[in-house]
Structures are given as C-alpha cells and as structure tokens.
Structure 1
Amino acid sequence: MAWNPVMSLNPLRYLSCRTIAGMARDSLYRTSFFMAFSNIISAACGFLFWIIAARLYTVQEVGLATALISSLALVVLFAALGFDSSVIRFLPLEDKGKVISTSLIVTAGASILVGGIYILLARVLTPAMTLWQEPGYSLAFILIALLNSIAVMGGYVFVADRKADLFLLQSLIQAIRIPVLFPLTLLGTLGIFAAIGLGYLAAAILCLAKIHMAISPIRRRVDGEFIRSSFRFSSLNYLSSLLYAAPTLIMPILVLSLLDEAEAAKYYIAFALGTLVLIIPSSFGTSLFVEGSHGSGLRRSALRAGGASLMIMLPAVLVLFFFGDFLLGLLKGEYIEAFGLLRIIALSSFPVACYSLFIPIQNVRMRVESILKLNAVRCFLLLGLSYALVSRFGILGAGYAWMATYLVIVLWVGRVALRERWL
C-alpha cells in the first residue's frame, strides 16, 4: 500500500474520519442520527419547557396541564388510524401524492371528530376536571389536536421519504413554545397548553409547505383505492398502536386520579426525563423500518441498529442513574422526590430497547398480528400492575410496573427469536 503522509501522522483520526463519512452516506445511520438528533432537540426543548413552566406556574397548574397534554396525545393517537405506519411502508411502493394526501386528510378529519367525542366523554367520566366544562378549553383542545395531527403525519412523511433533515427542522421550529410561556402565565394551565399549541401550529405550516414543494403536491381528495389496499396493514397497526401508546398516555391521568396534582406532575417529569434514553433505540427502530421497506437486508440492518443503540444508550443510562437527582432539582426541589422512579425508568431502557427493535422487524415482515398480541399483553399488564402498585407505593409503583412489564416483553421477544432462529 502506498505511503500516506496524512495517515502516518494520525492514523486514528484518518480512520475515524473515513468511518464517519461512510456512516453519513449510509441511509440507515443517516436517518437514525437525524431522527435521534431531532428527538434529542425535542427532548431538550421539552425539558427546558418544563423547567420554565415549573418556575412560572404552580405545581397544580403543571399537573393539570400534563393531564391535558396526555389527553391531547391520546386523541391524536386514536385519530392516526394506522396511517403513520402505512406511510412508511407504502410510500416507496405507491404514488406519493395519493399516499400523502389521503393520510393527511383522513387523519386531520379524524382528529376533529375524536377530539369532540373525547371532550363529551371527559365531561361525564372526569367531572373533577372542570376545565372541560369551559368552551374556551374545548375549542382550543380540538384546534390543537388538528394541528398536532398534521405535524405528526408530516413528520412521518419526511422520514418515509428519507428526508430526516426536514424532520430535524420540524423539531427545531417547535421550540417556539418555550419563549411564549412567559407572556401566557396569566392564563394558568391554559397558558401552558396554548404554548404547546403554537409549537404545533408552526410545525404544521412547515410540514404542509415542505411536503408540497419537496416531495409531492398535496391533493384535495382521498384515494379510496389506497385505503382499501392498505386497510389490513393500517387497521392492525392502528389497533397495535392504540394498545402500545394508551398505557403511557393514561398513566398521568391514572396517577392524578389515585394521588393528586403534585404527584402527577412529579411522575410526568420523572417519566419524561427517564425515557429520554429511549430516543436512541426508537430512532434506530424507525430507520430500520424505513430501510426494510425500501428493500435493505433486514438481518444485517437489525444487528447494526442494535449494536449502535447499545453503545450510545449505556453512558446516557449511567448519567440518569447517578445524576438524575441533580437534573430533577433544576426544575424545582419538589421534583427530586421522583428520583427513585427516574432510576427505575432509566434501568428499564435496555429491555425497552429490545422491544423497540423487534416491532419494526415484524412490520417489515408484515407480521402485524404478532405485534398486536404483544402490545395487548403489554397494555393490560402495565395498566393492571400500575393500578395495583401506585395505590400501594405511590409513583414509585409506576416504575415497578414498568420494569416488570418489559421483563415479560423481553422473554416474549427471546422466545420468538429462538423459535425463528434469529440467534
């Protein structure tokens, strides 16, 4: 081999530059890192958002706002109708215009309908939350649900089309919610919620503009053929997504009902901070789904995604486990009481990572039924254990339920891996 003066001076630097350049060209790593960076920015902005909110608003106002935001996420989840997964799976295979337009229009309309139904049910089922009786809250809730739906679906379109840089831009623009917290303090709980809504408004405008200009013009009609051809995949993924996300979204409401507003706020903040680590396996999992849908080798991609996730996660988990009390204290001294919960959530990240990589593998293989069964077990186990343990141990019980649930999940995934000879 010819002598290279650059390499001879610093071979490690030369090799690392070559490695980084190669990873930047690899679509799996490129999409994963853009998504991870986007989610880290979102999480950092979210953490800063709650630091400021905790100092500007009372613990009770923050507790009500967390329940309201969880309700919003629940509505958007129900309104997705499985199109979030269908966009990723079918965008490389179908006409982009009809896939994007149909997904956006159907989910936007569903968000308005589901939001209205949720408000009517909440007035009956949770009369203690008097904010649902106020027309201003109800209108704001439905409008923000619509904007959130557009922003979420637009983000999936960016990722499915391998334009994760636009996903990053979307995350950056949502940071507008932080400065608007200050002038909205007079509104109390509604001020926190309105700040979130302004972030979704900016993201929704960006999504519609960039999709129309950079990917495909948005049409004003729904394509019935696409709905029929993707119905089975969409519907099963929809049910699976509901079972997956519902426990996480219900938990702040459950803690609020079993304990009080202050404990709900502590739970929400500790859970949000503890699950930051999951940005890594989640990003690699989504990228694995995208690459598999584009025809990349699934086994090799899965091994690369798993190895990279583990290496990046380990130091992050250690930081949360040993220094999480300091991070909680940055918000307010009262939140340090949730340090025990934070440590359990952080340690649970490793079994959760196995699950996060298992789901996209099964989606690419069109084994949606197995995902549905797994998420059903997870949903009922997590909610049942949480109800029993929170009543006895407070918010720490939610951590015990979380850890126990994912240990069961890992055993399930291991059984599938052995049966299908992945290992």
Structure 2
Amino acid sequence: MRERIKRTIIKSKNDDLIKSSFFLISNTGTVSILGFLFWTLAAWLFTVQELGLATTTISALSVISSFASLGLSVALLRYMPNEKNKDKLFWSAIWISVLLSIILTGVFIFVLKWIFPELTFIQESLIFIIIVLISGSSAAPFKLIESLFLTKRKSSYVLSKNSLWGILRLLGLVILKSFGMIALVIAWFFSQIISTVVYLKLMKEKVVYGIDKKSIKKMLPLGMANYISMISTKFQEIGFPLYVAILWGVESTAYFYISWMIANSLFAVSRSVGMSFLTESSHNKNTSFKKALGITYGITILGIVLGLIFGKSVLSIFGEAYVSNGLALFKILLFSSVFFGFNQLMLMYYNFKEEKGSVRWINFSIVLLTIICSTFFLSKGVIAIGIGWLIANFIVFLILGIKSKKILFNQKA
C-alpha cells in the first residue's frame, strides 16, 4: 500500500497537468492570504478616507487593465506552445495591452472630475498623473507574463511571482506610509512592475519592441471571444453586488459579498485546472480532459465537505449576522461549484478547439440565466441570487454535457 502511494506521488510530480494545476490552485490561496494581510495592514496605517480613495483608484485601474488585455492571456496559452517565434507573439500582446492601458488610464484621469470628484487632486499634480499612468500600464503585463510561465511549463513561477508581489506590497505600505493615499497605489502597482521585471530576468527573456500585426491578427479573434467571457466574469464581481443592493439594500450586499468571495476560492479550482488543461492540450493534443475533470472534482468535493463543516465558523469571524443571513447562501454556492467546475473546464476545451462562439456564450449565459432565474425567488431575499446562480450553472451544465458526450465517452483517460 505504501509503495503504491509512493508511486502515485512520483507519477503526479512528473505529470505536467497535475503540477501546473497544483501551483495555480496554491497561487489562488496565497494571493488571497497576502491580499487579506495587505488590506488589514492598510486599515491600521491609513485613515478611512485615504483607504477609500486608494481602493477606488486601484479598482478602477485594475478594471482598465482587464479591458486593455483584450483576452490575450488565454489566446497566448492557446497559440504560444506551437508558435516558432514565441517572443514576437508574447511581446506583441504586451505592447498592445500597455498602449491601450495608457490610453484608457489617460481617459480615466481626464473624466475624474465628473465620475470621482474626490480624486481630482490627481489631475492637479504632474507627479500624480505620471504615477497613475505608470500604475495603469503595469497591471496587464503583470498578468500576461503568467501565460509565458505556463506555456514554458514554469507554473511554479506564477506562485513565486505573486508571492513576491504580496511581500513587496506589504513592505511598500510601511516604507511609504507618510505619502498618504498615493502610497497604497504605489505599493500595489509598482511592486507589480518589480515582480514582472525580476521574473522576466529569471526567464532570460529578451525584450522585442514593436507590435507584430500578424501575431495580433492571429490571436485577436480568440482573444475577443475571451474578452466577452471576461466581461461576463467581471459582471459577476461588480454587477451581482449592485443587483443585490438595488433589490435588498446595502446591508444585504455585505452578506452576499462575503459568502460569494469565500465560495470563489472553490470556483478558482476549475479555472486553475482549466488553464492548465488548455496549456497542456496546446503542447499535446492528447492531454486527457477526463484527468482534468478528475482533478477538478477531487478538489471540489473536498472543498464542499470542508465548507459544510467550517463554513459557519468562517462566516462568524465577520459577525453572527453573516451566519444568519449568509450561511444558506454560502451552502448553495458551494453546491453550485459541481456544475460550475464542469462549465469552466468546457470553456477551456472550446478555447483549445478555437470554437469562439462557445467561448463567448458560456459565461454570458450563466450571468443572464442567473438574473432571470433569481427573479422567481425574490421573496426569499438575498438567497435568490444563489438559487439563480445554481440553476443557471445547472442549465449550462446540461447543455454542455449533451454537447460533450464524445469528449467524455470517446477520449482515453
């Protein structure tokens, strides 16, 4: 028995899909912990007003970077493994995202007086404008470099890069505290720049200047399909809380948001395994979808069990009101991960097959169906959004299950 376990461990260490999935899932947990420490330390060191201004700026610049990336992070995973000139492909994606980030950040600074009057002081200082422009252009490359790591089978670098970022953020808060609100922005984004440069050096990457039109033309169709998928995902993060606030009030938003964020740690499992599957499939088209499914469900089922056991205790950290108002919602979200996990793996399968229509509709359909289905349960309060989410994922799961019979029954494990 012991020898069998030993052989299984050795086999797992040599399996690129398992290794990559392990590091990406570990990365999610590490980023969450370091992020929690960052905001806890920030709350101790800065005033509520400074914290509010900084979070608004950081959130806005992060959204800008997501839009500026054009879904190219997934397109890179699909095309880089088989591309002869990988550097040209990678750097074309970097430069176009940086260019778009600068343009969008410039627009953000220009319209501050209309959308965020409290931040107009940024417009009045050239130094602040430069800091915000640099910050806005750093986030997209920081994420895109992870596609480079994965395609070169250096998934451990994703974990170590983000760990370095997390540590540098914490140090930045302490060192720059006297600079007020802008210190938070610098700590957040300039630590990304340092981490990106350090790991580009470790990868021994040579900078290729300029945007190659052929490279962008090759990646853009699949990138734009993922762009639409990404917008749907962003709507889950931003739109769902607003939807809850409109229907049940700001207090209910807090109960929803905490339950949602904790459940998201389980949703991240299928996303991580899915990215690993896409990368390995691009290297080797015979990579087993069933194995990816097995890894996802093995961890997901364990997560559901742990969530059911410790969910109440975790929510009680935030207060008893979160237990009484959020526990039922949290349990529903836990069970939805069974269907969500399959849906996200299929999303990456369709990326591998370059079926752009399927890539576009999966997450969009989940969001749309969640809103529609939740309207039938509005009398149940905030739990309605959880029921809608569960039903939406189940419907998409059924559709994808029917479409994927050939994958599930014909592919070798």
Provide the TM-score with structure 1 as the length reference: 0.81
Local SS of the residue matching 2:404: helix
Deviation at 1:119, TM superposition (A): 6.2
Deviation at 1:382, TM superposition (A): 3.3
Deviation at 1:153, TM superposition (A): 1.1
Tell me the distance in 2 between the aligned counterparts of 1:237 and 1:343. 29
Of the structure 1 ranges 227-236 and 50-59, higher mean CA displacement relative to structure 2 is found in: 50-59
Aligned to 2:153: 162
- The one-letter code matched in structure 2 to 1:158 is F
Q: 1:197-241 CA deviation, whole Å, 9 max, x = no partner?
A: 524432332223322442531122111221123332223332333
Provide the alpha-carbon RMSD of the alignment: 3.5
Count of residues paired in the alignment? 402
Equivalent of 1:96 in 74, 83, 86: 86
The answer for the alignment partner of 2:343 in structure 1 is: 355
Q: Say if 2:112 and 2:120, in contact at 8 Å, map to a contact too.
A: no
Instruction: Read off the aligned partner of 1:103 and give its amino acid letter.
Output: A
Among residues 221, 238, 247, which one is paired with 2:210 in the alignment?
221
Larger displacement relative to structure 2 (231-240 or 256-265) = 256-265
Distance 2:373 2:246 in 1: 16
Using a 3 Å threshold, how does the CA distance of structure 1 residues 21 and 85 change in structure 2: closer, same or farther? same
Q: Percent identity?
A: 23
Measured in 2, the distance between the counterparts of 1:409 and 1:355 equals 7
- Report whether the alignment pairs 1:286 with 2:286: no
Cα offset for 1:106?
A: 0.9
Q: Is the 8 A contact 1:211 1:218 kept in 2?
A: no
The correspondence of residues 70-89 of structure 1 with structure 2, limited to 5 A, is: 71-89=60-78
Q: Does 1:307 align with 2:294?
A: yes
C-alpha change, 1:73 and 1:352, in structure 2 (3 Å) is: farther
| Matched residue type, 1:397 | A
Q: Structure 1, residues 47-82: CA drift from partner, whole Å, max 9, x if none? A: 444566678889999888777655444322211112
Query: Compared with structure 1, are the counterparts of its residues 323 and 156 closer, same or farther at alpha carbon in structure 2 (3 Å cutoff)?
Result: same
Q: Say if 1:86 and 1:233, in contact at 8 Å, map to a contact too.
A: yes
Per-residue CA deviation, residues 357-392 of structure 1 (Å, 9 max, x unaligned), is 101111111112112122332233335556x58976
1:417 to 398, 404, 408: 404
User: Superposed, which structure 2 residues align to 1:23-42 within 5 Å?
Assistant: 23-42=12-31
- Please point out which of 324, 340, 343 is paired with 2:328: 340
**Structure 1, 323-332 or 175-184: larger mean CA deviation:** 175-184
Q: 1:421 to 1:284 in 2, by over 3 A?
A: closer
Aligned equivalent of 1:273, options 255, 259, 262: 262
From 97, 102, 108, give the equivalent of 2:98.
Answer: 108
Show structure 2 runs of 5+ residues with no match.
Answer: none
Gaps of 5+ in 1: 1-11
Residues 421, 224 of structure 1: alpha-carbon distance in 2 compared, 3 angstrom cutoff: closer
Paired with 1:136 and 1:272, the residues of 2 have a C-alpha distance of: 34
Give the CA deviation at 1:164. 0.7
Provide Cα deviations, 1:226-273, integer angstroms capped at 9, x if missing partner.
112333222333233323433333334444566665544443332111
Equivalent-residue separation in structure 1 for 2:60 and 2:378 (angstroms):
22
Query: 1:379: which partner in 2?
Result: 367
Distance 2:158 2:367 in 1: 29
Q: TM-score, normalised by structure 2?
A: 0.83
| More divergent stretch after superposition (173-182 vs 265-274) | 173-182
- Give the deviation of 1:93 after TM superposition: 2.2
Shift of 1:174: 2.5
Alignment of 1:7-406 (within 5 A): 12-49=1-38, 71-94=60-83, 95-117=85-107, 130-135=117-122, 139=129, 143-176=134-167, 177-178=169-170, 190=181, 195=184, 198-255=187-244, 262-298=251-287, 301-332=288-319, 335-336=322-323, 337-383=325-371, 388=375, 394-406=381-393
For 1:400 and 1:328, how far apart are their aligned partners in 2?
Answer: 19
Distance 1:401 1:187 in 2: 45
